[in-house]
Amino acid sequence: MTDVEINHVGKFFGTLRALSGVDLSMRSGEFLAVLGPSGCGKTTLLRCVAGFEQIDEGRIALGGRLVALPGVHVPPHRRHVAVVPQEGALFPHLDVAGNVAYGLGRGRRDRAARVEQCLELVGLGGYGRRMPHELSGGQRQRVAVARALAPRPPLVLLDEPFSALDAALRSELRRDVRRALREDGATAILVTHDQAEALSMADRVAVMNGGRIRQVGTPAEVYRHPADVWVAGFVGEAVIVPLDGEAPGGRHTSPLGPLTLRDDDRPWDGPMAAVVRPEQVLMTHRRTPQAGRGVPAVVRRVDYHGHDTLVAFELADGTEAMSRMVDGPLVDYRPGDRVFVLVDGAVAAVPVGETVTRPVPSPR
């Protein structure tokens, strides 16, 4: 069953185009992440779905019910869409239980039970009597999620809910929230500018830029088969290598050495470029038999991250590229080292044209 249907939605702020021709559809129970840089229109899209903003073009249907057309606007409280805002926005005058119970009808007999159940779901069982100011930032976000889940809304919208938290807390909270949403069977849209968050949490990712959706797909699809050069550069790091060849598939020569393109059915029209991910670039100190076809390069910069290392290098013709390697005893590179590099495995090809990355100021 299709739960969320967004067709050709457009939105203007004065003469500024914030959204144009946005198309999205979601199954019931699906978790979709809308990923994009700040000001790309992702929060505006979320606010249009929630009903805080009116749309100027297209239509939005939730659960088969039309909620928004130009000039037709179902108010937020009739949409059954719960929102988890950026800073949590807990009601400061209500305790945790009061916050979670806010969306539950007063007559419900299982009210207290549902509140406790939702708090358990986010790992805060027994916190009902606390006041919001007595909670840490992460706990507040957990309560905000529980509050959104309590009335069992068909759709939950999360607006960068983890951006204000520190890294360690963030990954733990991401896991817990994802599990809570899943256990409750909620359909959810997460808006974020953090590609790691989008890729690790969502079933599908919609990449947005300049008020348009550039690509929708599973996290692996978006990362391995980016739709264009912009998506390739925004989702993860990439070395873009222009291709001269005419034919799809097969082998191509490049400054990085021979490249094998993935077999995909993308039509080959106009100039294309290869997307080489840093982890596909192998690096050795010596020309080993395995890396026999390696291309000589000079190390320029080494970023050590602990679990892995990103080494930037320069090829003979001046091309700059990067290699990422898992940490180990053999990883010992310094700027100035002479090395050999080799691209391992097939790489994606993307069309070079159509890079409309018009920035649109954020409405807030």
Binding-site ranges for another protein (CB under 8 A) = 50-52, 75-83, 85, 87, 89, 91-93, 102-103, 147-148, 151, 153, 157
Helices (H), 20-110: 42-50, 96-101
Eight-state DSSP code of residue 234: H
Instruction: Give the residue carrying structure tokens 């009902």.
Output: 128
Nearest CB to another protein, comparing residues 82 and 273 = 82
**CA 313, CA 236: separation in Å to the nearest integer?**
18
Nearest CB to another protein, comparing residues 40 and 84 = 84
Question: Closest separation between CB of residue 6 and another protein, Å?
Answer: 17
Nearest CB to another protein, comparing residues 99 and 215 = 99
HEC states along 285-318?
A: CCCCCCCCCCEEEEEEEEEECCCEEEEEEEECCC
Nearest CB to another protein, comparing residues 95 and 228 = 95
Closest Cα to residue 55, out of 35, 43, 72? 72
Question: Closest separation between CB of residue 143 and another protein, Å?
Answer: 12
Question: Closest separation between CB of residue 77 and another protein, Å?
Answer: 4
Nearest CB to another protein, comparing residues 83 and 347 = 83
Question: Closest separation between CB of residue 145 and another protein, Å?
Answer: 12
Nearest CB to another protein, comparing residues 89 and 331 = 89
Question: Closest separation between CB of residue 38 and another protein, Å?
Answer: 18
Task: Find out whether 149 and 120 touch, Cβ atoms under 8 Å.
Answer: no
Nearest CB to another protein, comparing residues 93 and 286 = 93
Question: Closest separation between CB of residue 152 and another protein, Å?
Answer: 11
Nearest CB to another protein, comparing residues 73 and 266 = 73
**CA 11, CA 55: separation in Å to the nearest integer?**
5
Closest Cα to residue 272, out of 226, 208, 320, 317? 226
Sign of CA dihedral 184, 188, 193, 199: positive
**CA 187, CA 149: separation in Å to the nearest integer?**
10
Nearest CB to another protein, comparing residues 101 and 297 = 101
Residue type, 211: G
Q: How many CB atoms lie within 10 A of CB 307?
A: 7
Question: Closest separation between CB of residue 150 and another protein, Å?
Answer: 8
Q: What is the DSSP string of 123-191?
A: T-TT-TT--GGGS-HHHHHHHHHHHHHTT--SEEEEESTTTTS-HHHHHHHHHHHHHHHHHHT-EEEEE
Question: Closest separation between CB of residue 85 and another protein, Å?
Answer: 5
Question: Closest separation between CB of residue 90 and another protein, Å?
Answer: 8
Nearest CB to another protein, comparing residues 148 and 173 = 148
Sign of CA dihedral 283, 286, 292, 293: positive
Give me the half-sphere count of Cα atoms (radius 13 Å) on the Cβ side of residue 209.
Answer: 18
Question: Closest separation between CB of residue 325 and another protein, Å?
Answer: 36
